[in-house]
Homo-oligomer: A and B are copies of this chain.
Amino acid sequence: MIPPESFLLDRTEGTLQSRIQQMVAQGILSGRFRPGERLPSSRKLAQHLGVSRITVTLAYTELVADDYLTARGRSGYYVSDNAPEPPNFTPQPPQASTVNWSARLGSSPPSLGINKPQDWQKYRYNFIYGQSDPSLFDSANWRLCALQALGKKDFDSLTSDQFDQDDPLLIDFITRQTLPRRGILAAPDEVLLTLGAQNALWLTAQLLLAAGKTAVIEDPCYPSIRSIVQATGAEVSAVPVDAEGLPPEAIPGGASVVFTTPSHQCPTTTTMPLSRRRALLDRAEADDFIVVEDDYDFEMTFAGPAAPALKSLDQTGRVIHVGSFSKSIFPGLRLGYLVGPAPFIAAARALRASVLRHPPGHIQRTTAYFLSLGHYDALIRRMSKAYHTRRQTLDAAIALHGLTVAGSNAYGGSSVWMRAPGIDTTALAETLRAKGVLIEPGAPFFASSGRTDLQPSEFYRLAYSSTPTSRISDGIATLAMTIRSAPVLF
């Protein structure tokens, strides 16, 4: 008889029933409970754990269904003779590795350049970019779509190994609805699903760059794109952006690939005007380089429709367009896409197959339902409305405290680019963190080559994607107070 005291409800995840089920299964799998042993009666175990008897009975019934336990009439539940067997050998404690790993692994792998506390959700005033707000998310409909995608009808197609094709439902929606709204018409063989936008950028960099080629990135830019490009061995040229984004005339000769963020320059938030987009494409044709358009955040337009994508102006098939659902649905989703000429997409598909085969089928199909049933657009509208209010509150607080805006997009987005003259924002962020305020220091966005026209450490980013309106004013007040008492260095 296994004593009730063997069981201790120490986990906080899952329902009570599932926690009991887990305890019994793990006792059997680890060999603590052996075939033929009798479990405590549901009454005794319920009493010991302080839960209702029906909860224990339901857990036992589930375990019988999976053949961990057998029920013997009125005499109770026993560990089944067919229960999984524990290993019949004792695992060896691991030994210290005698391998010189630092020599083996060579140069340290690229840093993502992201400086974000793991526990950002615990901070009261969180102005970190790119995290979602669960209170805005339509989790009920997402759950329904996930269930529908797990239904019998869909199950076969989801569970098989689709290494060289994507979910046709999702591709159909992207080509017929999502891309036309960006001004883009693309055939299914011109679109590839990726593990988020970062994976799309990574695949593109691998295919188009190598030692001996030159990549142009914006300065400042999304830090991950810089490390991705550097890791290819290509020469990297960081071109300073101005109030209209990347200036085409500043692109050096001999560029192979230019990475740009025309919709909302990252991190300065500005939108590239149409004339400059045309000039960039003319330059691309003249110099025969490829333009990679990271179209992040385009949906968050609350004051007028989004401008068409750069890709929509592409007459010579030299723009690779990167989109993502991760920002607008939730970052943990990891689903994005590449749009480009068919030969490029075919190569990206083959590389993706080698690296990871394909994005999980269930994620693809759930997203397809969420989009096609209209929930996605409803979500975007709800988010845009909330962001609009937050932005107005933020703008007012910034004005009230006389903080300096370095870049801000009148039409939307989810962040503003700020400047604290003379202040080192990396140290500032540390001080603020102790006060429950999270901001993003600006230095990591800039190329290490150095800017002579400005002081990178003065800048910082304030995002409002996961900050409720009610907290913005207080958070900005604390920020302003802390800036006033910070040492002026430059």
Contacts and interface: CB of A to CB of B under 8 A. Distances in A.
A300 interface: no
Interface residues of A, number: 142
Nearest to A340: B97
A112 B21 contact: no
A314 B91 CA distance: 11
Interface string A430-457: 0000000000000000000000000000
A392 interface: no
B377 A183 contact: no
A208 interface: yes
Contact of A353 (B29, B112, B162, B186): B112
A50 interface: no
Interface in A57-104: 62-63, 66-68, 82, 84-89, 91-99, 101-102, 104
Given A185-B91, A357-B198, A146 B150 contact: yes
A485 interface: no
B29 A331 contact: no
9 contacts: A18-B369, A25-B374, A29-B377, A86-B181, A91-B183, A91-B312, A92-B185, A142-B150, A199-B355
Nearest to A17: B373
Nearest to A29: B177
A357 B110 contact: no
Interface in A307-321: 308, 312-318
Given A88-B305, A315-B95, A377 B25 contact: yes
A282 B213 CA distance: 44
Interface stretch (A153-161, A261-269, A415-423): A153-161
B180 A152 contact: no
Stoichiometry, as copies per complex, reads 2
Contact of A84 (B99, B132, B316, B380): B380
A21 to B, nearest CB: 5
A356 B196 contact: yes
B92 A312 contact: yes
A372 B22 contact: yes
A374 B99 contact: no
Interface stretch (A224-232, A237-245, A474-482): A224-232
Contact of A354 (B110, B152, B354, B380): B110
Contacts of A139: 150, 152, 155
A105 B26 CA distance: 51
A253 interface: no
Contacts of A161: 130-131, 326, 331-332
A228 B352 CA distance: 12
A25 B109 contact: no
Contacts of A316: 95, 97-99
Contacts of A198: 354-357
Contacts of A147: 143, 146-147
Interface stretch (A37-45, A359-367, A396-404): A359-367
A354 B91 contact: no
Interface stretch (A214-222, A341-349, A406-414): A341-349
B22 A373 contact: yes
Given A94-B314, A95-B316, A332-B361, 10 more contacts: A15-B148, A25-B373, A86-B181, A92-B313, A99-B288, A101-B343, A105-B208, A121-B160, A159-B332, A335-B360
A275 interface: no
Given A66-B378, A109-B350, A360-B334, A134 B148 contact: no
A123 interface: no
A114 interface: yes
A330 interface: yes
Contacts of A305: 85, 87-88
Contacts of A131: 160-161
A99 B318 contact: yes
A157 to B, nearest CB: 8
In the complex, which of the residues A13, A21, A121, A377 has the most CB atoms of chain B within 10 Å of its own CB atom?
A: A13
Interface in A195-210: 195-196, 198-199, 202, 207-208, 210
A111 B372 CA distance: 34
A354 B134 contact: no
A236 interface: no
Contacts of A154: 13
In the complex, which of the residues A108, A198, A313 has the most CB atoms of chain B within 10 Å of its own CB atom?
A: A198
